[in-house]
Amino acid sequence: MQIVGFLAVIVLVGLMSLSGFQIVPESALNRAAANNDTNASSSLLSISGPQLPGSRTSLTPAEPSGEAVPPVFVPATVTSQAAQNIESTSALLRGEVSVGTESVGTVFFVYGYSQSDINQSLANHQTYEQVVANQRTEAVVTRVARSSSNDRTISTRVSNLAPETKYYARLCAERAQRLSCAPTVTFATIPRVYSPGDVRIPSIRVTDETAAAADQMTLRMSVAMRDTYDGDVYVVYGESQARVQDARSLSYTRIDEDRERLQKSRVISNIRGTQEFTKTIDDLAADTLLYYFVCVEYEGLRDGTICTRTQTYRTYDEDYGDKPRVRTTAVAISGTTARLEGSVAMRDFINGKVFFVYGSDLERVTRAPGETSMENLRQTQDRFQRVFVDADLDSNDTYIATVRDLLPDTLYAARLCVEYENQNKNYRDVPFVACGELRSFITQ
């Protein structure tokens, strides 16, 4: 019987082994229970062996993985919506920005009646500033937000649109040094007038005259097409006032150029709405008087041409860097009275304002010359004073001035100066001051 019992035990252990169950000493179970008792209520459970039909499953705590779940990246999206509140010269542009898990930078619209100008303005640029720097003539860039950290609906009213015109618009946003732009949406403004008698013709004006060189004329102009469209803007200019004046009655194609006496130059074609332009004309003769006017030919319910008045512009000479010649002679002292002397040769300049400067502040007397005017050299009692001696010097002359009641036993400095007009580095006519030698003296 003992042999039979021993065999039965062996068979039972074999069956348990085949079933995946293990015999664990009670001491080991007690130690595991002691270690896991505090976390038993919150631990995950796992099956320690295969589950057989009809058997009870033994469960043990699962080990935590220790690996953080990576966040899911959600890109920002930009969506354009249909324009609303469309009138003859204005409309409400709309769109949406969903930031996802990103931070969005500047949000802006690019719109205009030329789809190619819009696309060229955007090109492959990566920031709002780059788009503004490369903005084409018939595209407008309008910023609506500097940054966004939340989903938001975007809308902005745009004006100065051309009546009865098809427009294109795109909403864009900066994302990690690149742009995301929504597909183009279109809308058409309505007519403003319906009969020729109600048409407002264009307005055109020159807002600035500058130059970057002595042989150039740069004009900045503003054109408002109002109730007309497809405007062609051009400049007519020349050295002959009569030839330029005669060209006012001719269309652009009928103007025959005549060397330096009469020339024409197109600024832009087929514009609508309100636009600003800059036109540079070069290869001009330096220090020469020109006559010019700007015109726009327009179409619509009324066709025609409108021009500015005939204006004049003198190209710059090459005197920048030159100046009148000024000399200050020795100062004669008698107690607290000083006798100042000097001479001025205007050279190629005219209308000089001649004056002496003197004072106990030697630094201020020293730095009197430069791009400034006589009036900007502010007087400060004995520290710095001016003595005016001539208002309109065109050639050469010598000057004497006596100053009294100076501080006794004090070091002074004096020099003769002249204010004249010249071009600065930007070829703008501005006042300059040139001065002679610095003469110091001590009162008694």
User: Residue 293 in contact with residue 307, Cβ under 8 Å?
Assistant: yes
pLDDT digits (tens, 9 = 90+) for 204-258: 999 998 877 778 999 999 999 999 999 999 999 999 999 999 999 999 999 999 9
**Domains of the chain with bracketed CATH:** 77-188 (2.60.40.10), 196-314 (2.60.40.2060), 325-442 (2.60.40)
Place of tokens 């042989």: 215
User: Residue 167 in contact with residue 174, Cβ under 8 Å?
Assistant: no
pLDDT of residue 108: 97
pLDDT of residue 152: 93
Tokens matching residue 82: 């249909």
Residues across the chain: 444
5 class by beta-carbon count within 10 Å (0-12 exposed, 13-18 middle, 19+ buried) = exposed
For residue 414, give the amino acid letter: A
Report the C-alpha gap between 284 and 394 in whole angstroms. Answer: 27
pLDDT of residue 90: 96
Beta-sheet pairing, 140-145 with 217-224: unpaired
pLDDT of residue 134: 95
DSSP states of 128-184: HHHHHHT--TT-EEEEEES-BSS-EEEEEEE-SPPTT-EEEEEEEEEETTEEEEPPP
User: Residue 243 in contact with residue 292, Cβ under 8 Å?
Assistant: no
pLDDT of residue 318: 62
DSSP states of 4-27: HHHHHHHHHHHHHHHTT-----HH
Report the C-alpha gap between 15 and 3 in whole angstroms. Answer: 19
Phi, psi values for residue 422, rounded to 5°: -150, 170
pLDDT truncated to tens, each residue of the chain (444 aa)? Answer: 445 455 554 555 555 554 544 544 444 444 444 444 444 333 333 334 444 444 444 444 555 555 677 778 888 999 999 999 999 999 999 999 999 888 899 999 999 999 999 999 999 999 999 999 999 989 999 999 999 889 999 999 999 999 999 999 999 999 987 899 999 999 999 999 999 999 999 999 999 988 777 789 999 999 999 999 999 999 999 999 999 999 999 999 999 999 999 999 999 999 999 999 999 999 999 889 999 999 999 999 999 999 999 999 988 776 556 789 999 998 999 999 999 999 999 988 999 999 999 999 999 999 999 999 999 999 999 999 999 999 999 999 999 999 999 999 999 999 999 999 988 877 778 999 999 999 999 998
H or E element in which residue 33 lies:
helix 26-36
Report the C-alpha gap between 17 and 125 in whole angstroms. Answer: 71
122: which residues sit within 8 A by CB, 6+ positions away? Answer: 110, 131, 170, 172, 179, 181
pLDDT of residue 320: 59
Beta-sheet pairing, 185-188 with 166-175: antiparallel
Quick one: what percent of the chain has pLDDT higher than 90?
A: 72
